[in-house]
Amino acid sequence: MDSNFAAAELDTHPAGELKYSRTIADLPCPKGRWFFGNSLELRGRQSHLTVAKWIREFGPFFRFDTMGTQLVVIADRDTADSILRDRPAGFRRSKGTKVVMNELSIGGVLTAEGDDWRRQRKLVMGGLSFEVVRNFFPTMVFMTERLMQRWKAALAEGRAIELHRDMKSLALDIIMGVATGHDLNTVGDDEKLLVDNIDSMMKRLEQRLVAIFPHWRHFKLPVDREVDRSIANVKQTLMAIIENTRERMREQPDLHQKPGNMLEAMIASSDNPESGFTEHELISNAILNVIGGEDTTANTLAWMINLLAENSAAAAALTSEVDMVLGDAAVAADWEQMKQLPYLEAAHSETQRLRAVAPLIGVVSNEDCVVAGIFIPKDTPIIVSTTGEGMDETYFPQHEQFKLERWIFEQKPHKEDDPARKLFPFGGGPRMCPGRFLALTQIKLVISMIMHNFELELEADAPPVEQVMNFFIGPSAVPVRLKLRA
């Protein structure tokens, strides 16, 4: 670990081999309350907006207090990038976060550290690689067209379309398809029980992460019993798929040497005593794939739909581009078409700038270190802002507006001027989101289908859409109606 990375060029003082210019106590801090510190301000489902307000008030380096524990916030883009690159060697997830996630059966590679992480990461990355996503593309096209036909039928019959839930269903079908080879077709399930089960788990995860007292370890409320049922339902679904896959692998032993998807690769590893990959890790990663792949992508799609509906000029420019690329086809059927949609890529980048689904990443320092000239003791919790300078007027004039032109260039800009280097929506470093290729492809495929076949119409009497944190940030609603284009 480089213990002096990103050190500021200021006067320094020796601390063993470390040199630093200030300590955590020297950082600005919002005023807190006796005993509770700032913890009460961070309760609720919009705590990320409180942190964002503090960033604007105190700058890129500050601290806050939660009942005696000092947390450091890093919002400087270069320093944040350095921290994320120094995982897992220099920084790890907090023990409290891992415990809560594991209690909800949400673990796997997301909470693993050290050798456990390296072993699991290799399998997950292999199952979501660029080549795997490209080979799965025809199935994604089929699933996207299936959703489009469902929407067209609903409009013809005068039935309401629940855009956000349908986005979650499609994302769930796609991640399960690429990871396990199974088509759940939750898009065609009117009840969407599995989607509701996942929502229940994510909501409870966020509530437990910010809870002052872990009551569920001593007595369970109705919401705790509800999430237990949700976990059991998700596990039951996945265990049936795992057993089905195991049976197929017994009938086709060559799949142990040449697995066809991530689940088969994980089963092959768990069946091999020398791999060190356990049955518990198999189940944990299966659950993680379902939850992580569904929630992040679906929320990004929901935000894009909201923002495009609110910005007719951007929607018109994007529609014109999509019409030209897709032509007479209802849905993109050629992988190469995914490279011909710069306005769609711009819409995604602008959505991530304004409505990042994972704006904050929590880590803990493994050793004493110096970050941007600040002495950080071992085991200090740090919150890294992934939005970087995304809301900085210097880099993004009229930063509160949704403007696709920010991302359209005749020539690729120098890295210092490249807006893409100002944010990192998929994280950074070795623990960058392994599903980014899948997410980007799905977003392009779905949004191009929507803009090519439908018009977006805002519901006039809908209340303002709020940002809601359920571990990831999603919209409180998608008050948008689809109208079939002529």
Number of Cβ atoms within 10 Å of the Cβ of 460 = 6
Alpha-helical runs (H) found in 104-129:
114-127
Q: Give the long-range contacts of residues 117-121, CB within 8 A, separation 24 or more.
A: 117/88, 117/431, 119/275, 119/276, 119/277, 120/277, 120/281, 120/285, 121/430, 121/431, 121/434
Token output for 370: 């110096």
Domain total in the chain: 1
Specify burial of residue 420 (Cβ count, 10 A radius: 0-12, 13-18, 19+). middle
Q: 289 with 234: CB under 8 angstroms?
A: no
CATH number for 34: 3.30.43.20
What span, in angstroms and rounded, lies between the C-alpha atoms of 476 and 469? 9
Residue 149 lies in a domain: no
| Residue 354 placed within a domain | no
Per-residue pLDDT of the chain (486 residues; tens, 9 = 90+): 433 334 333 333 444 588 999 999 999 999 988 888 888 888 778 888 899 999 999 999 999 999 888 999 999 988 999 999 998 889 998 888 889 988 988 888 888 888 888 888 888 888 888 999 999 999 999 999 999 999 999 999 999 999 999 999 999 999 999 999 999 999 988 878 889 999 999 889 988 888 888 999 999 999 999 999 999 999 999 999 999 999 999 999 999 899 999 999 999 998 888 888 888 888 888 888 888 778 889 999 999 999 999 999 999 999 999 999 999 999 999 999 999 999 999 999 999 999 999 888 999 999 999 999 999 999 999 999 988 678 888 888 898 999 999 988 876 777 777 787 778 888 888 888 888 999 999 999 999 999 999 999 999 888 999 998 888 899 999 999 999 998
Q: What is the pTM of this model?
A: 0.90
Domain interval for residue 91:
1-104+359-388
CB atoms closer than 10 angstroms to residue 468: 18
Residue 167 lies in a domain: no
Q: Looking at the domain assignment, is residue 3 inside a domain?
A: yes
Please check whether residue 53 lies inside any domain of the structure.
Answer: yes
441 contacts: CB under 8 Å, gap ≥ 6? 133, 137, 140, 338
Q: What's the pLDDT at 55?
A: 92
Q: Is residue 289 part of a domain?
A: no
DSSP character string of 339-378: GS-HHHHHHHHHHHHHS-SS-EEEEEESS-EEETTEEE-T
* CA distance linking residue 107 with residue 292, whole number of Å: 11
Q: Return the pLDDT at 14.
A: 44
pLDDT at 1: 41
Ordered DSSP codes for 46-69: -HHHHHHHHHHHH-SEEEEEETTE
pLDDT for the residue 445: 97
Structural domain includes residue 20 = yes
Helices 163-180 and 262-270, packing angle to 10 deg? 50
